[in-house]
Amino acid sequence: MANFFCDFRFLLLIAAVAFIYIQIRLFATQSQYADRLAEAVESENHCTSQMRLLIDQISMQQGQIVTLEDERKRNFEERLQLKALIQDLERKGLQQLTDKTQEPVAAVVIMACNRADYLERTIKSVLKYQTTVASKYPVFVSQDGSNPEVKNKALSYDQLAYMQHLDYAEVETERPGELIAYYKIARHYKWALDQLFYKHNFSRVIILEDDMEIAPDFFSYFEAAAILLDKDKTIMAVSSWNDNGQKQFVHDSYVLYRSDFFPGLGWMLTKSIWDELSPKWPKAYWDDWLRLKDNHKGRQFIRPEVCRTYNFGEHGSSMGQFFKQYLEPIKLNDVQIDWMSMDLSYLMEDKYVKYFADLIRKAKPVYGNDAVMKAYNVVGDVRIEYRDQSDFERIARQFGIFEEWKDGIPRTAYKGVVVFRHQTQRRVFLIAPNSLERLGI
């Protein structure tokens, strides 16, 4: 019996120990859970606090958004009112510049950007000769950008209308290292010509740049040229420029030529030509693009022997390229010619080929690698054949004329023939291998 009680007490002791151990483990577990629960509560409180802070920030931002949206709406309405005001001023300005009883020959647009001093010189030159024919040639200044000096200078003249091209779109060049300026210039040209042809509905536009002076007969020349443009659809545009118009290479102010090379630098085109060009206008280098044969479609350009524009812009986007050698020595015509009284029918395509071929027939052929030296000893016009582009460049270099080609066409060339004056009066014809055949000689 004593052994039984002894065993029972032993079991109770074991049970007590087990119970105490379980209680200790349970207490430890409860303590860990309580700690974790406290951490969770603290974390929840922190999250709640952060959430409230975030909600407050969102509320503030929403308030700012509402304020900005209201401001945007006000700005939009102000822009609409300003745009309407500008359009009204443009209409009133244009009405003052045009004669309701007479359709203008062409609008004249001076393309400007950030050279106020150059622009003033150009405007003064244009207005000097435009005043007597103002109703025929309304003048516009189209500014690219917001240079205040240029804008104020343009607006200071009541005799012209002002347009402003504001384009903040990012420019992406097609090749590394290209100047963004050439892309901006191309955009500006397209915008300005679209404005003049489609908004103001002019039938012709003369494009000048803000670094040009014009000749006394500039407007008479383009009035007569407008008739040619209307009659002969093989003429793509008319230019007042001759790339080889330096003093030593020109003589006769009355002589005009056809050319396969687009001269630019003071030129006129029609609305029908712009209808063709505008949809495919290039992103940059618009003048080189116009010199591509694919854009000519077999058409040519009219150019003078003696320039009717003078480019004085040594500083600009082209950074003075060619200025000292080719631009500064240009002769600006100083003879007042009544072009409307002149017979220019020889420039029509069907007559010009024969006219030009006759000039070449009368020229004395000069051959050999020393042809340039021989030409100095020939009396009268001479013609020299060149084999290819490198041969042409060699000969051109010896005479001092432009060597450059674009899309297989030398500057000023007509059917591969480049003509210029040599030793004051006589003509020199540089002739491609197939030129005589193309001219029927």
Q: Is 224 in contact with 344 (CB distance < 8 Å)?
A: yes
The DSSP call for residue 249 is G
Q: In this predicted structure, what is the pLDDT of residue 41? A: 63
Q: In this predicted structure, what is the pLDDT of residue 43? A: 67
Q: Is 419 in contact with 428 (CB distance < 8 Å)?
A: yes
Lowest model confidence (mean pLDDT) among 69-73, 223-227, 251-255? 69-73
Q: In this predicted structure, what is the pLDDT of residue 248? A: 96
Band (69; pLDDT cuts 50, 70, 90) = low
| pLDDT beyond 90 at 340 | yes
Q: In this predicted structure, what is the pLDDT of residue 316? A: 56
C-alpha 223, offset from chain centre: 26
The DSSP call for residue 407 is T
- Convert the pLDDT of each residue in 388-420 to its tens digit: 999 999 999 999 999 999 999 999 999 999 999
Lowest model confidence (mean pLDDT) among 39-53, 77-91, 315-329? 77-91
Q: Is 421 in contact with 242 (CB distance < 8 Å)?
A: no
The Cα-based distances of 59 to 53, 65, 99 in angstroms read 10, 10, 60
Q: Is 245 in contact with 331 (CB distance < 8 Å)?
A: yes
Q: How far apart are CA 131 and CA 139, in angstroms?
A: 10
Helix, strand, coil abundance in the chain, percent, nearest 5: 50, 15, 30
Q: Is 201 in contact with 178 (CB distance < 8 Å)?
A: no
Q: Per-residue pLDDT averaged across 345-350, rounded?
A: 96
Instruction: Output the CA torsion 29→30→32→36 (10° steps).
Output: 140
**Beta strand extents in 279-381 (DSSP E only):** 300-304, 309-311, 364-366
Q: Per-residue pLDDT averaged across 105-112, rounded?
A: 98
Q: Per-residue pLDDT averaged across 128-133, rounded?
A: 96
- How is residue 394 written in tokens? 């060699």
| pLDDT beyond 80 at 16 | no
* Parallel/antiparallel/unpaired status of strands 267-270 and 235-239: antiparallel
Q: 412 φ, ψ to 5°?
A: 75, 0
Q: In this predicted structure, what is the pLDDT of residue 319? A: 47
Q: How far apart are CA 259 and CA 145, in angstroms?
A: 34
Band (292; pLDDT cuts 50, 70, 90) = very high
| pLDDT beyond 60 at 6 | no
The DSSP call for residue 330 is B
**Catalytic residue list:** 287
| pLDDT beyond 60 at 335 | yes
Lowest model confidence (mean pLDDT) among 84-88, 96-100, 167-171, 401-405? 84-88
What is the crossing angle of helices 218-231 and 116-130, to 10°? Answer: 80
DSSP 198-231: IIS--SEEEEEETTEEE-TTHHHHHHHHHHHHHH
Q: Per-residue pLDDT averaged across 76-100, rounded?
A: 54
* Parallel/antiparallel/unpaired status of strands 256-259 and 212-214: unpaired
Q: What letter represents residue 212's amino acid?
A: M
68 compared with 312, residue with greater pLDDT = 312
- How is residue 153 written in tokens? 């200078």
| pLDDT beyond 80 at 338 | yes
Band (92; pLDDT cuts 50, 70, 90) = very low
Nearby residues of 403 by Cβ (< 8 Å), 6 or more positions away: 392, 393, 396, 397
Q: In 3D, which of 228, 226, 259 has the Cα closest to residue 243?
A: 259
SS3 category, 326:
helix
Sign of the Cα pseudo-torsion (311, 208, 171, 152, in order): positive
Q: In this predicted structure, what is the pLDDT of residue 278? A: 98
Q: Share the mean pLDDT of the chain.
A: 87
Query: Would you say how long the chain is, in residues?
Result: 441
Band (38; pLDDT cuts 50, 70, 90) = low
Burial class (CB in 10 A: 0-12, 13-18, 19+), 133: middle
CA-angle at 406, arms to 385 and 302, nearest 5°: 80
CB atoms within 10 A of CB 336: 11
C-alpha 154, offset from chain centre: 20
Q: What percent of the chain has pLDDT over 90?
A: 69
Highest mean pLDDT (candidates 27-41, 165-179, 311-325, 348-362): 348-362
Q: In this predicted structure, what is the pLDDT of residue 176? A: 87
Q: In 3D, which of 378, 425, 428 has the Cα closest to residue 398?
A: 428
Q: Per-residue pLDDT averaged across 346-363, rounded?
A: 97
